Amino acid sequence: MDLKGKIAVITGSNSGIGLGVAEELARVGADLVINSFTDREEDHALARELADRHGVVVRYIAADMSKPEACRGLIEKAGACDILVNNAGIQYVAGIEEFPTDKWNAILAINLSSAFHTTAIALPMMRAKGWGRVINIASAHGLTASPYKSAYVAAKHGIVGLSKVTALECAGQGITCNAICPGYVLTPLVEAQIPDQMKKHDMDRETVIREVMLERQPSRQFATVEQIGGTAVYLCSDAAAQVTGTTISVDGGWTAL
Ligand code: NAD
């Protein structure tokens, strides 16, 4: 597997799954554009570290994925995009009646609409080269639901639909689009949910992870960022050239239940 000469743009990649995907794509030679909404020295330092570790070119471009123009600007500033990984995402948990409108709007904008905007700018670049990969990081919540996650579940089901439409519009052009659907992966996004769950269930950390958070994940093990990154590498391979418009679950059996 060799992605030398390919440029991968990964949204929301200074942490968690996005960083794991960046790491695995760089390991097989892809040059990278990594991103978040912050513009700190440590973000640019992270890009230098990745470049040194893997001998590839890595740029950090700050862009807020809640803003349509910034999403489009990210791909324009990248200048080229052979592999687009739409990964930026946030979570908020509340019942529908209490769900704040600003949180609903932010989740829909970052977890769903950003992928529409980046894809719209990236596709002509891919078509010009006759090769491209769009990889949307959805979730087991793109295929199933949980209470209190209305915006997240709606956005993730939405991105599964967007992946299918993108695949159809690119069919036969050397460009594929798929959604990876992870179950629980221990990242800062999930780490932030643990204290609330401990309080709510009056359980210690280990028990709440095993009995509550991983209750629907039959393996009772978190998926890892390396496994999600490896799945992205597979989708970039020739073996996956006819894999398009579908979902790949990396969820320890969650959606088999
Ligand atoms: P994380 O919080 O570690 O990472 C989220 C990334 O998105 C960070 O780099 C953050 O800076 C970035 N981000 C947030 N808001 C942004 C904005 N407005 N503009 C640009 N970047 C922004 O979380 P994670 O768990 O790595 O999540 C990454 C993706 O994976 C999300 O789409 C999430 O829904 C999905 N996912 C996560 C899990 C899990 O268990 N961790 C499971 C299924 C799906």
Nearest atom in ligand 1 to 156's CA: 34
Ligand 1-lining residues (CB < 6 angstroms):
11-18, 36-37, 64-66, 87-90, 110-111, 137, 139, 182, 184-185, 187-190
Residue 195 has pLDDT above 80, yes or no: yes
Dump pLDDT digits (tens) for 117-175.
999 999 999 999 999 999 999 999 999 999 999 999 999 999 999 999 999 999 999 99
Give the pLDDT confidence of 212-236 residue by residue, as tens digits.
999 999 999 999 999 999 999 999 9
Index of the ligand 1 atom closest to the CA of residue 20? 26
Six-digit token string for 59: 């740029």
In angstroms, how far is CA 154 from the centroid of its own chain? 16
Residue of 14, 33, 36, 216 best suited for mutating to test ligand 1, as the one with most atoms within 8 Å of CB: 36
Ligand 1: which atom is nearest the Cα of residue 138?
Answer: 44
Q: What is the pLDDT of residue 1?
A: 77
- Measured in Å, residue 108 CA sits from the centre of ligand 1 at 13
> Residue 14: its pLDDT value, please?
97
Tell me, in angstroms, the distance from the centre of ligand 1 to residue 87's CA.
6
φ, ψ for residue 65, nearest 5 deg: -70, 0
Supply the pLDDT for residue 25. Answer: 98
Percent of the chain with pLDDT over 70: 100
CA of 172 to the centre of ligand 1 (A): 31
> Which class is 7-185+223-250 in CATH?
alpha beta
Question: How, if at all, do strands 7-10 and 83-86 pair?
Answer: parallel
Provide Rg for the chain, Cα atoms.
Answer: 18
Q: Determine the pLDDT at residue 4.
A: 97
The H or E element spanning position 51 is helix 41-54
- Write the residue with the smallest CA distance to atom 36 of ligand 1: 139
Element (H, E) at 248: strand 247-250
pLDDT tens across 67-105, in order? 999 999 999 999 999 999 999 999 999 999 999 999 999
Q: Read off the pLDDT of each residue in 20-27 and give the average, rounded to a whole number.
A: 98
Q: Residue 34 Cα, ligand 1 centroid: separation in angstroms?
A: 13
pLDDT at 111 over 80: yes
Quote the mean pLDDT of the chain: 97
User: At residue 183, does pLDDT exceed 80?
Assistant: yes
Q: Which of 92, 148, 152, 184 is catalytic?
A: 152
Structure tokens at 7: 């440029």
Output the six-digit token pair for 86.
Answer: 């739409």
Q: What is the pLDDT of residues 32-75, one digit of tens each?
A: 999 999 999 999 999 999 999 999 999 999 999 999 999 999 99
- How far away, in angstroms, is 15 Cα from ligand 1 center? 8
pLDDT of amino acid 189 = 81
Strand 83-86 with 58-62, pairing: unpaired
Based on the residue annotation, tell me whether 148 is a catalytic residue of this protein. Answer: no
Nearest ligand 1 atom to the CA of 15 is: 9
